[in-house]
């Protein structure tokens, strides 16, 4: 195993969540599957609704999770790929236009690159920064709905972009925490985008699907259609709010409420038939408390319905509510509630399933990783491996172009054209984080 570690590019992903901090290390094997060779999970106490609220506690949790993963891998980590989330994440749509000088020349990658870079010049509210610029479709002169305009001829190149923004302070706090552990941040990825890499198939993204990641502090929504991200949103409710509702509704301690939710909780009260009575020990000699399983389900259902109200409102706001042939995929720790997929179907009218992050994992993976709880961590790992391979591919072709003296072979030209516009997204996101001056920490 040690020999494999040293001959493969090991990638380390770090999921800093509201309920847990998870470090996961792995690489892509020769069968195009992800081998996970180390992971560490620690309870998170310094993060509130996806945002770092206590630097010291978050640093401690990151250090422990990284140490546990390093111990399994038997090697030290230097660079990590980090996820970013939280209720500060916003999205908007913008239209870009480029007027070219010569209609006889083909539209090049540089033309598309200029359009994307122009989006980073948008005026945003104070304290916000663009995290991702995602092309939707292009228009060349009067030809609309083009996914890849490279190689076409035309004067006017237009494009619609989905732009994701976040607060600079939130990203800098994450950077500060990771740097205090002695690690370098390679890049930051929006966590809902990462989760999609782990639990959605290409067919689902093409057909149209809404990924709903119910975490501890927030619920993240990502909508795909025709293989492209069309809409993203963050709802400031998650599993922790359900726990607090149980605590207040049943008048129990917070840890007891969490155990009630995990062991006996159901998102659909009508599915409770035997209606068992759950007995909770009383405080310091007081009488035990008895709670009806059906009443517990009613408390949970009312809050989950509220979350799905927001989810469905975001789906309608995206304009794709009638176009999601794949329905909804639920993932994250909140999706472990019994019958939550049934409630999602009843409440939104869309088919729903639970997404587990195992599709891209190599045979013999740790059974713990099959839980939706690890969708974001596994997704970050997959997304980071894809980005690293993409960067290597770009560097290879740039070197080929520098060294070539004769005309490029047809085979290479076809591969290069197939890289599409999305290749540049990783580079720009990385440039943004590298551009932050050290003095500001």
**Which DSSP letter does residue 152 get?**
-
User: Could you tell me the pLDDT band of residue 400, with boundaries at 50, 70 and 90?
Assistant: low
For residue 370, is it within any domain?
no
Q: What is the CATH number of the domain that holds 328?
A: 3.30.420.40
Q: For 413-441, what is each residue's pLDDT tens digit?
A: 333 333 444 444 444 444 544 555 443 43
For residue 405, pLDDT over 80 is answered with: no
- Among 427, 402, 397, 399, CA closest to 414: 397
For residue 385, is it within any domain?
no
pTM of the entire predicted model: 0.84
| Backbone dihedral angles phi then psi of residue 272, each to the nearest 5 degrees | -90, 110
Q: For 98-107, what is each residue's pLDDT tens digit?
A: 998 877 788 8
Q: Which two tokens stand for residue 253?
A: 């301690």
Q: Which pLDDT score is estimated for 288?
A: 87
Strands 128-140 and 34-43: unpaired
- Cα–Cα distances in angstroms (integers) from residue 161 to residues 50, 115, 224, 321, 421, in the given order: 25, 10, 14, 20, 12
For residue 327, is it within any domain?
yes
For residue 387, is it within any domain?
no
Rounded Cα–Cα distance for residues 77 and 148 (Å): 38
Rounded Cα–Cα distance for residues 214 and 216 (Å): 7
For residue 52, is it within any domain?
no
Residue 105: HSE in the Cβ half-sphere, 13 Å Cα cutoff: 10
Q: For 198-248, what is each residue's pLDDT tens digit?
A: 999 999 999 999 999 999 989 999 999 999 999 999 998 899 999 999 999
Q: For 343-380, what is each residue's pLDDT tens digit?
A: 999 999 999 999 999 888 888 778 888 899 999 999 99
For residue 112, pLDDT over 60 is answered with: yes
For residue 114, is it within any domain?
no
Q: Which two tokens stand for residue 334?
A: 């909140």
Q: For 48-100, what is each residue's pLDDT tens digit?
A: 888 888 999 999 999 999 999 999 988 889 999 999 988 888 889 999 999 98
User: Could you tell me the pLDDT band of residue 398, with boundaries at 50, 70 and 90?
Assistant: low
Rounded Cα–Cα distance for residues 397 and 406 (Å): 15
For residue 99, is it within any domain?
no
For residue 75, is it within any domain?
no
Buried b (16+ CB within 10 A) or exposed e, 345-356: eebbebebbbbb
Total of domains in the chain: 1
Rounded Cα–Cα distance for residues 356 and 198 (Å): 8
The vertex-76 CA angle with 75 and 81, nearest 5°, equals 115
| C-alpha Rg value of the chain to the nearest Å | 23
**Domain, as residue range, for 210:** 202-358
């Amino acid at each position: 195993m040690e020999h494999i570690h040293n001959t493969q590019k090991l990638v380390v992903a770090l999921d800093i969540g509201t309920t847990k901090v998870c470090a996961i290390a792995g690489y892509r094997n020769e069968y195009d599957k992800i081998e996970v060779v180390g992971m560490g999970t620690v309870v998170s106490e310094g993060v509130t609704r996806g945002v770092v609220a206590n630097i010291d506690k978050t640093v401690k949790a990151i250090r422990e999770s990284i140490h546990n993963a390093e111990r399994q891998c038997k090697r030290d980590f230097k660079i990590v790929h980090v996820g970013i989330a939280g209720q500060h994440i916003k999205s908007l749509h913008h239209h870009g236009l480029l007027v070219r000088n010569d209609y006889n020349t083909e539209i090049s990658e540089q033309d598309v690159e200029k359009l994307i870079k122009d989006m980073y010049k948008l005026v945003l509210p104070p304290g916000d920064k663009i995290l991702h610029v995602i092309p939707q479709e292009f228009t060349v002169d009067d030809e609309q709905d083009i996914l890849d305009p490279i190689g076409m001829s035309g004067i006017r190149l237009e494009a619609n972009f989905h732009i994701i923004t976040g607060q600079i302070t939130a990203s800098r706090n994450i950077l500060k925490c990771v740097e205090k552990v002695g690690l370098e941040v390679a890049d930051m990825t929006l966590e809902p985008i990462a989760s999609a890499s782990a639990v959605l198939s290409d067919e689902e993204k093409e057909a149209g699907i809404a990924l709903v990641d119910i975490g501890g502090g927030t619920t993240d929504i990502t909508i795909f259609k025709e293989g492209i991200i069309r809409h993203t949103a963050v709802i400031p409710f998650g599993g922790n709010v359900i726990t607090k509702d149980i605590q207040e509704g049943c008048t129990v301690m917070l840890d007891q409420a969490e155990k009630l939710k995990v062991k006996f909780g159901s998102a659909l009260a009508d599915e409770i038939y035997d209606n068992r009575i759950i007995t909770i020990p009383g405080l310091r000699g007081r009488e035990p408390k008895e709670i009806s399983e059906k009443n517990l389900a009613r408390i949970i259902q009312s809050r989950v319905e509220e979350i799905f109200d927001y989810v469905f409102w975001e789906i309608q706001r995206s304009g794709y509510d009638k176009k999601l042939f794949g329905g909804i995929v639920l993932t994250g720790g909140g999706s472990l509630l019994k019958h939550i997929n049934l409630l999602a179907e009843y409440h939104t009218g869309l088919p729903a399933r639970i997404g587990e992050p195992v599709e891209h994992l190599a045979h013999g993976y740790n059974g713990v990783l099959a839980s939706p709880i690890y969708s974001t961590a596994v997704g970050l790992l997959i997304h980071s491996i894809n980005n690293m391979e993409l960067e290597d591919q770009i560097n290879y072709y740039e070197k080929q172009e520098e060294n070539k003296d004769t005309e490029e072979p047809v085979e290479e030209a076809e591969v290069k054209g197939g890289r599409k516009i999305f290749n540049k997204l990783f580079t720009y996101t990385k440039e943004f984080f590298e551009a932050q001056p050290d003095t500001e920490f």
